[in-house]
Amino acid sequence: MGTYTSNRDSERQGSWPPTGSSHPADAQSRVDFVSSDRFDDTPDLALGYAPLATSGVRPNKDQKLDDDAKAIRRGRMGGGFRLMLFSSFATLLLIFMLPLALGLPGKVDPWSIRSIANGDVNVTFLDGNGDLLAHRGYRQEETVPLSEMPPYLVQAVLAMEDRRFYRHWGVDILGVLRAAQANFAAGGIVEGGSTITQQLARNLYLDGSRTFTRKAQEAALAFWLEQQLTKDEILELYLNRIYLGAGAYGVEAASKVYFSKSVRELTVSEAALIAGLPKAPAQLSPAKDLPRAQDRAALVLEKLEETGWMTAAEIEAARAAPAIVELEERSPDIRASYFVDWVYSRMPLFVDGPPRELVVETTFDPELQRMGEEALAATFDGLRSNAKVDQGALVALDHNGAVKAMVGGRDYLESQFNRATQAIRQPGSAFKPLVYMAALQNGYTPYSGIVDRPVRINGWKPLNANRRYSGWMQMRNAIAYSVNTIAVRVGHKVGLDKVADYARASGITTPLPAHPSLALGAMGTRLYELTGSYVPLANGGYEAPAYGITRISNVEGDVLYERARNIIGAMPPPYRENNSGQEQVDEDAVMTPILNKVATTRDVQTMTKMLKRVISIGTGRRASLGAREAAGKTGTTNDNRDALFVGYTADLVAGVWMGNDNNSEMDRVYGGTLPATTWANFMTAAHEGKPKRKIYTPIWVAPHPSQYKEPEPVVEEVPMVEAPAVPNYAALRGKLNGLSSALAAAVPLEAPEPVRTRSRGMDRSVFRSRDD
């Protein structure tokens, strides 16, 4: 263990003495360190003031007035100091007596406690490829020996948390007095008196309650820890277990989270940033507020300069290069944060029991996530200045409902609110495919004729987007041009209860009011649920609610939850045997589908043809993918408060929402403009290099062997050979000759005058100004 050299007339320099060994060989060196004039030369910060200068320079008038004010304040605080002195002696008595009264903790070995994150769950998330995606709950890395940590990191922690660490027995009476004086002068709690040993005892064995009993237990345990462990061991345990924000426990985990490197590689400024976190890790975390964390790191450097443990040149170099936390570039954690937050919140639905370390395998695709973020960012980068839109969201799912990408907003660091899963906004006309699906299930066809004209239901009168009416039209054109009055008529005639039933079956869980405006999407829903309701239209009519978790297991490999395989097909009845050991076949058994059918394949194929026209001739032309087949629907709510586009291909289903968090109006932003463009950009990138497939192609699913019935034995019979009958053509020839003579003798008919009739067609001119 090294010692510091002192020179009062020159810059001081030294190195951190701990070796990390459980019992240092050179005990005298520690005595030299803690009793050296390094502490005597620095201001007596433990008492909260610096000695007055006695160099012969007389203080000026202002200094004298300041000294008088301090003297008056000391006089007022005399009684307070006597009370604090009495409390200090009482605390010492408690330290020696409470271990006997309270007993030792259940786990006497501090090293046997795996984590100080009591009551939390440590979850490691893997993406769809099995690669590390993110951590949630607490994160704890390997234990790093004290001797391998940078000396300046240890110095910085001691300077901020417990400068007299090597000079007290677990409870620092001088530190308690200093904190009491500072709190009394400030009229509130501005400084704590807990030592590093007390903090370690609290984190290892106690909860976070602020009661006298808990403080007494903390003091007793701190004294007990000082008897069980050396100072170096206590400091090493503390640095490897203390919470440092962003779910990181210990300096190694914090270094990995904030700087993507081991604690052994930290610079002085990075070490100062980490050393400033223990006081309030949740508020000071650079993941939450980097400028505030940097200000705290500057304070750490000031404390280091006061102690003299580092030279002024080293401090200035650290100040000139403050630590930068590049969270967006360090790992896919930030990119996946919206998705991981959503999955983490749903975990209690699948596992319960005591806290544990878990591994969660997800459906997440990092490449699709990157493409979704880039598509949304490109839209906002090219936004016209007066568009008045500040937020957007995107969700992508496969045909089984697996969430592949989720962009919950423009910037996770600025706002953790997930607009794809938490925001409940109106879908507008993007809800109409569910209305028309209910119509197809109840006898309507794409060619059913409906009249586009003003309609009034119970005093409510909906209007079209362009305030015009086109008269009679087919239902396939009504959805292509997003005609409001026809959607309302169809929903009213089919029945709003049937519309709501299909919407719930397809994945909508938010309340669906029994009001005619339901047909226009005048209710709240979440983007990921709305996008998921289009999945049955893409996969043949099978139920496929959005999901993000495929398997949950513990660190030992035991599977706690696993999602069943979603196979388009049917599950055979259970295998049974009779008393003779032969298979017992139940002829009346019903084959159970693994995925429930919410619509017939014929109906969803018909709807897909209708939604293809939305992109080819209707309101969603900007969502065209060229030669690749795509179907989708635009949506715009009243006063342009929400704009959406949801669509699908043979490979992917995606939805885009744009709007403002305060629900304010946008300026000429419709579902067929910015959302459709964003959707097209994302889908084009996501399908790069993939074959251009039709959305519906014949798929044959091999049946289970138990579905085959053994054929009945065939008895071959030799048919009798009969002589073929001779056809009789004489009678037929006579009839034909008679018919020919009759036609030759007939008088020819005169052609009637042509009758001009008015075509019952649709006036397409009314759609020229329609956006949605």
Q: What is the DSSP string of 542-560?
A: B----B-EEEEEETT--EE
In angstroms, the CA 112 to CA 120 distance is 18
In angstroms, the CA 120 to CA 657 distance is 34
| Helix, strand, coil percentages for the chain (3-state, nearest 5) | 40, 10, 45
Q: Parallel, antiparallel, or unpaired: how do β-strands 122-126 and 132-136 relate? A: antiparallel
Residue closest to 647 by CA, chosen among 684, 700, 692: 684
Can you give the three-state secondary structure of 143-198, one letter per residue?
A: CCCHHHCCHHHHHHHHHHHCCCHHHCCCCCHHHHHHHHHHHHHHCCCCCCCCCHHH
| Residues paired with 139 in a beta bridge | 248
**Could you count the other beta carbons within 10 Å of the beta carbon of residue 406?**
29
Tokens 């039933």 -> residue: 501
Copy the structure tokens of residue 539.
Answer: 């996969």
Q: Choose the catalytic residue: 141, 161, 252, 543.
A: 161
Copy the structure tokens of residue 596.
Answer: 């429930």
Maximum separation of any 2 CA atoms in the chain, in Å: 151
Is the Cβ–Cβ distance between 567 and 593 less than 8 Å?
A: no
Q: How many CA atoms lie within 13 A of 156 on its CB side?
A: 30
Q: How far is CA 140 from the centre of its chain?
A: 21
Looking at residue 49, its pLDDT comes to 28
Domain membership of residue 138 (yes or no) is yes
In angstroms, the CA 93 to CA 101 distance is 12
Say which amino acid occupies 276.
G
Helix intervals (H) in 481-544: 484-494, 496-506, 527-533, 535-539
Q: What is the pLDDT of residues 368-426, one digit of tens each?
A: 999 999 999 999 998 887 888 999 999 999 998 999 999 999 988 788 899 999 999 99
Residue closest to 194 by CA, chosen among 279, 83, 104: 279
**Could you count the other beta carbons within 10 Å of the beta carbon of residue 716?**
4
In angstroms, the CA 348 to CA 549 distance is 12
Domain membership of residue 70 (yes or no) is no
Is the Cβ–Cβ distance between 12 and 6 less than 8 Å?
A: yes
In angstroms, the CA 489 to CA 189 distance is 67
Name, in order, each residue with C-beta under 8 angstroms of 592's C-beta and a sequence gap of 6 or more: 570, 571, 573
Residue closest to 278 by CA, chosen among 257, 262, 293, 263: 293
Active site residue 345: no
Residue 290's domain is classified under what CATH number? 1.10.3810.10
Looking at residue 636, its pLDDT comes to 93
Backbone phi and psi for residue 232, each to the nearest 5 degrees, phi listed first: -65, -40
Tokens 């000695």 -> residue: 51
Domain membership of residue 229 as a residue range: 87-330
Strands (E), 675-758: none
Domain membership of residue 236 (yes or no) is yes
Active site residue 161: yes
Strands (E), 215-314: 248-249
Domain membership of residue 46 (yes or no) is no
Looking at residue 105, its pLDDT comes to 54
**Could you count the other beta carbons within 10 Å of the beta carbon of residue 703?**
12
Domain membership of residue 612 (yes or no) is no
In angstroms, the CA 710 to CA 283 distance is 71
Residue closest to 94 by CA, chosen among 281, 219, 250, 278: 219
Terminal-residue alpha carbon distance, the chain: 77
Helix (H) or strand (E) holding 740: helix 730-745
Residue closest to 443 by CA, chosen among 493, 501, 398: 493
Domain membership of residue 522 (yes or no) is no
Is the Cβ–Cβ distance between 470 and 763 less than 8 Å?
A: yes
The low-confidence residues of the chain, meaning pLDDT below 70, are: 1-121, 138, 175-193, 206-214, 326-334, 353-355, 565-577, 585-595, 697-729, 732, 746-772
Residue closest to 636 by CA, chosen among 468, 771, 490: 771
Copy the structure tokens of residue 692.
Answer: 């251009």
Domain membership of residue 508 (yes or no) is no
Domain membership of residue 151 (yes or no) is yes
> Structural domain tally of the chain?
1
R_g of the chain, CA atoms, integer Å: 39
| Residues paired with 653 in a beta bridge | 397, 648
Tokens 């490829």 -> residue: 129
Q: What is the pLDDT of residues 58-99, one digit of tens each?
A: 344 444 445 554 444 444 444 555 555 555 555 555 555 555
Q: Choose the catalytic residue: 429, 482, 517, 533.
A: 429
Distances from the Cα of 753 to the Cαs of 750, 758, 760, in angstroms?
Answer: 9, 16, 22
